[in-house]
Structure 1
Amino acid sequence: MSLITCISFVKRLWVAWGIQLLVAATVACKIVLAILGSRRKYVTWISTNLLIWATYLLLSYFATIALGKLTVVRIDDPKNPGYDVVLQGLLAPLLLMQLGYADGITAYAVEDNRLGLRQILNIGATVGVVVWILVRCWDSSSPVSMLFFPLFVAGIIKSVGWVWALQSVYDENSSVTTEDMSEEAGIKQVFEAFPDDEKFASTKDVLKAYYRFDCLKPHLVNWLYHPLFISRDWMSIDSYPADRAFTMTEIELNFMFDVLYTKAPILFSVIFKNAFLIDMYITCTYALLMAVTSLELYQITMLAFSDWAVVKMSMHLKAPLVLRLLPFLARRCMKQKRWSRSVGQLNLLDRRLLYEQWSKPVATILDLFEKGEIFRRYWLHSSQAIPSSLKVLVVQNMAELEKQRHLLPFTERGDWTLDTYGIREKQGLSNSIEMRFDRSIIIWHIATEILHELEGDHSDACRGSKLLSDYMIYLLALRPYMLSLTTADITLEYACCALRPFLRQRDIREAISKLSLADEDFPDPVELSKPTMITHGWHVLPEVQKLVIDLRMMDNKWEIISSIWVEMLCYAAYRCQVYHHAKRLRRGGELITHVWLLLAHKTDKYRSEIPKDLAPSSKPFTRKDSSSCFQKIFGKRDAKTRYNLM
């Protein structure tokens, strides 16, 4: 078949079936988004994220082109358009429904939520076009025309729901009112309404996670909040085991993911609670309509097994059916996977990272884009499932650090550990903490690797230190924005340049042995081809040597090392912008984000003094206490005072 013949065939196909193919493409895109949209919170594969990104963008393009073609459908007799024209008109409201996107993905990125107002104009124009198409294709004698109205209403609901979901995330009219301030007083009564039965434990956990999220609103930077309220028995998780505390954090972050990227919050509002009934009109039409109906039914079914459903059903405990279904649904929700539950791992002493060369064609392409080192790090990094012992280690060390932090912003990255163990006089330890953060991470990582090889054991502190060490280097190498570092690439490359000649001349065991000896001297570090102020005067190997020698003299070295790593992780988590935490939620999630949320509940970011009469006590916390507490902590404010959001 010649090229001209192929082109001619494609043209004929486009003229005859172009509209149907475009509608099929939009339905296919929406099916992909419905299936994968909510799964991206725990899927880390680049191919999956690329597929979601492509379908998210292409859906609106396909729908717009299809609507454009529908506006110029040929109608020989306007009074009697014909059965085929009426069927084509039926596709217009169907396309409007597709433009409402799947319930599991309203926004691909955080930035999309800023475009809510712009999308109102786009949807308004689209609705006008759809109305024009329906008017042109209307045939009063055809029963198919009777489907125009219900499908059009369904399309309006889906489209308005999408715009509403975008606009509600960072609504500039959001403000803190007196009602918001005193709302917490009723939370205790909600929990007391549950029967005293262990089968409702999962339900209470989901509900508690929701109230903790709703109180903190971590995606809003300037939302009024004080950790005093979370200290109440019915809101606190201080007594929870580490696994359960991390599960609560997972659920909170899942609520945050839903608010930022899905329609879940508005789907459970009063307006939308019966919207799915309209979809019943679609079940008797053709293949494309059947596909859309199946998709909507799938999404409606999934809503019943969401955290939001458990929260909303918990408000109606007087209904016998709710009391029967709630424990089952809550147990199912608690078993759901809400993030990848893994940590990235990268080892600076990996010889492949230091010496492995790409083949010439690949190296040429990577050099062209100056991405050779970045791609090498992506290629060599791995992921490891988070063991329960690591969660326990992190939570326990955070509790110890909290004794010195006292709800203040997290500003230290090792000093509190040195004070706790009384080892500040150790010069190697002190110097490794006082240097710049990226240097400190590298020095501690190399020292941890050396001690793990020489004196590693099977303790939780040792295994946890190794995991956190490789995780922090992974963040430094591939996610430096989460560490709030702008010079990470330069510092990391300099450290690799210092390690390459040292490791090239000896095997790893010999190199590690030399770095642990006090009488071993090292030559001046190898400078980069273009020395910078960032790396000037930094002697990597001698600094590592001093730190290793100090740590080897301590019997509790692994407790100290693990505490240092947890403190560094907390410091990085606190400094990281909310935007970056939110961005990682749609790419599998990060351990550092869970630590950030745990810290957020324990941080008084306004540095306000808690009045003595409001300190935690056994006295019941009344509605009046709640309102006066906010006034004493934050001062009397106009109930309509607005706060700039993120």
Structure 2
Amino acid sequence: MPIIKESLKRLWNTEEIRTLVLVSLCLQFGLVFLSPLIKHTRQKLLILVLWFFYLLADYVAILALGNLLRRQSEATCCHHGGVGLMALWAPFLLLHLGGPNTITSYSIKDNELWWRHFLGLAVQVVVAFMVLLQLVAIPRLRVAAFFVFIAGLVKCSERTWALRSSRMDQLRKSYDMQNQEQLPSNTVAPGNIYETDQITEAYEFYKIFKPFVVDHRLNQNHYEQSQTYFQNCGHLKAFKMVEIELSFLDVLHTKADLFNGLRGCIWRFISLGMIASSFVLFLKSEKSGYAKADIIISYILFGSAILMDLISLPLIIISYILFF
């Protein structure tokens, strides 16, 4: 007697790719909303869930891409019975592999393994491109998939570059170039500890004190200036300043330090425009030959991609206004 019934096997073979794509999408939303909370909690369960989501997100997306390629090789028709529409999901899986802006690594050790991440992502880009070849004969879907593919390719590149830039040796080089930074003026009035000016001051202190992350020491001039500043600002403002400074250490595990500001704004607008244009082309394309479930999942993927860019865009604009 077989352990798994044949009916369950057939059901899984039919729904496998759809399930994996939806699970991958859910993991992305989990990372988006859980990763900002991790620094505000000591709950082990929440930390464990984020760690589980972080590890599982890449595996699920890679497995889905592999199954898409296998399904493509088994298909007898390139755009019939829903097979062709599934090929449109490949570039969305690249977006998932690029990860959300709120988390690129779980620990410093992940940053040191950037080369392994790069090789893995390069292989998945090739796999996604091979899957997209299935859409060559469908003009509108082909262009729509190309736009999302470019957005996914750049997002994967962003993640790799963010990992590389957060390595210890890269941080040391960054410190050496910023060694002549000047501290904020110590004549600023204490004022309200929640004022925007204090966030800006804390960001300047963060850039100066970043050497501590890589076991460097402050030079004597910086040490004396910082001592004078904190002696004159009052204890409430001093504690709040340190709290804000520590919050900026998130840049070691996110894309914030590299892709926020004006450059980040420009790319996010371009990325959002590509995905929106792709969505318009998908709306105008003929869908009568595809399974209803595949059409619904495609709409969900487009809507989720646009929503994630809309979530990140205001955060980037705010950071540009505050720090540039």
Fold shared per TM-score above 0.5: yes
Matched, 1:93 2:91: yes
Deviation per CA, 1:407-447: give whole Å up to 9, x if none.
Answer: xxxxxxxxxxxxxxxxxxxxxxxxxxxxxxxxxxxxxxxxx
Query: Which AA in structure 2 matches 1:21?
Result: T
Matching residue of 1:439: none
Taking a change above 3 Å as real, the CA distance of residues 311 and 223 of structure 1, as seen in their structure-2 partners, is farther
1: distance between equivalents of 2:35 and 2:157?
A: 19
Query: Which AA in structure 2 matches 1:71?
Result: L
Deviation at 1:163, TM superposition (A): 1.3
Taking a change above 3 Å as real, the CA distance of residues 141 and 124 of structure 1, as seen in their structure-2 partners, is closer
Residue 247 of structure 1: which of 240, 244, 247 is its match?
A: 240
Taking a change above 3 Å as real, the CA distance of residues 218 and 177 of structure 1, as seen in their structure-2 partners, is closer
2: distance between equivalents of 1:251 and 1:218?
A: 17
Matching residue of 2:10: 12
Q: How does 1:368-383 map to 2 (within 5 A)?
A: none
Q: Is the 8 A contact 1:282 1:290 kept in 2?
A: no
Deviation at 1:207, TM superposition (A): 1.4
Matching residue of 1:124: 122
Query: Which AA in structure 2 matches 1:252?
Result: E
Matching residue of 2:45: 47
Q: Is the 8 A contact 1:212 1:235 kept in 2?
A: no
Taking a change above 3 Å as real, the CA distance of residues 77 and 178 of structure 1, as seen in their structure-2 partners, is closer
Matched, 1:29 2:22: no
Residue 259 of structure 1: which of 242, 251, 275 is its match?
A: 251
1: distance between equivalents of 2:52 and 2:194?
A: 41
Taking a change above 3 Å as real, the CA distance of residues 119 and 235 of structure 1, as seen in their structure-2 partners, is farther
Matching residue of 1:159: 156
Deviation per CA, 1:316-368: give whole Å up to 9, x if none.
Answer: xxxxxxxxxxxxxxxxxxxxxxxxxxxxxxxxxxxxxxxxxxxxxxxxxxxxx
Q: Is the 8 A contact 2:101 2:254 kept in 1?
A: yes
Deviation at 1:309, TM superposition (A): 4.0
For structure 2, list consecutive stretches of 5 or more residues without a partner in the other structure: 283-298
Residue 65 of structure 1: which of 63, 66, 85 is its match?
A: 63
Report which structure shows greater RCO (CA 8 Å, sep ≥6): 2
Query: Which AA in structure 1 matches 2:156?
Result: S
Q: Is the 8 A contact 1:123 1:159 kept in 2?
A: yes
Matching residue of 1:181: 179
Residue 197 of structure 2: which of 179, 197, 204 is its match?
A: 204
Taking a change above 3 Å as real, the CA distance of residues 229 and 166 of structure 1, as seen in their structure-2 partners, is same
Matched, 1:223 2:222: no
Deviation at 1:310, TM superposition (A): 4.8
RMSD: 3.1
Q: Is the 8 A contact 1:100 1:161 kept in 2?
A: yes
Matching residue of 1:359: none
Taking a change above 3 Å as real, the CA distance of residues 7 and 260 of structure 1, as seen in their structure-2 partners, is farther
Query: Which AA in structure 2 matches 1:249?
Result: V
Matching residue of 2:76: 76
Taking a change above 3 Å as real, the CA distance of residues 128 and 231 of structure 1, as seen in their structure-2 partners, is same
User: SS where residue 93 of structure 1 aligns?
Assistant: helix
Taking a change above 3 Å as real, the CA distance of residues 296 and 213 of structure 1, as seen in their structure-2 partners, is same
Taking a change above 3 Å as real, the CA distance of residues 37 and 200 of structure 1, as seen in their structure-2 partners, is closer
Residue 272 of structure 1: which of 241, 259, 264 is its match?
A: 264
Q: How does 1:285-304 map to 2 (within 5 A)?
A: 286-304=299-317
Residue 213 of structure 1: which of 195, 206, 210 is its match?
A: 206
Deviation at 1:233, TM superposition (A): 7.9
Deviation at 1:41, TM superposition (A): 0.3
Taking a change above 3 Å as real, the CA distance of residues 227 and 204 of structure 1, as seen in their structure-2 partners, is farther
User: SS where residue 95 of structure 1 aligns?
Assistant: helix
Report the identity percentage: 25
Give the TM-score of the pair, scaled to structure 1: 0.42
Q: Is the 8 A contact 1:86 1:139 kept in 2?
A: no
Deviation at 1:230, TM superposition (A): 5.1
For structure 1, list consecutive stretches of 5 or more residues without a partner in the other structure: 316-646
User: SS where residue 107 of structure 1 aligns?
Assistant: coil
Taking a change above 3 Å as real, the CA distance of residues 109 and 181 of structure 1, as seen in their structure-2 partners, is closer
2: distance between equivalents of 1:92 and 1:69?
A: 10
Matched, 1:143 2:136: no
Query: Which AA in structure 2 matches 1:154?
Result: A
Taking a change above 3 Å as real, the CA distance of residues 199 and 57 of structure 1, as seen in their structure-2 partners, is same
2: distance between equivalents of 1:296 and 1:130?
A: 21
2: distance between equivalents of 1:13 and 1:218?
A: 56
Query: Which AA in structure 2 matches 1:289?
Result: F
Paired positions, count: 299
Deviation at 1:182, TM superposition (A): 3.2
Taking a change above 3 Å as real, the CA distance of residues 51 and 7 of structure 1, as seen in their structure-2 partners, is farther
Deviation at 1:84, TM superposition (A): 2.4
Taking a change above 3 Å as real, the CA distance of residues 235 and 41 of structure 1, as seen in their structure-2 partners, is farther
1: distance between equivalents of 2:149 and 2:52?
A: 27
User: SS where residue 64 of structure 1 aligns?
Assistant: helix
Deviation at 1:67, TM superposition (A): 0.8
Deviation at 1:70, TM superposition (A): 0.9
Deviation at 1:82, TM superposition (A): 3.6
Q: Is the 8 A contact 1:114 1:167 kept in 2?
A: yes
Deviation at 1:304, TM superposition (A): 4.5
Q: Is the 8 A contact 1:27 1:292 kept in 2?
A: no
1: distance between equivalents of 2:177 and 2:253?
A: 27
2: distance between equivalents of 1:265 and 1:21?
A: 34
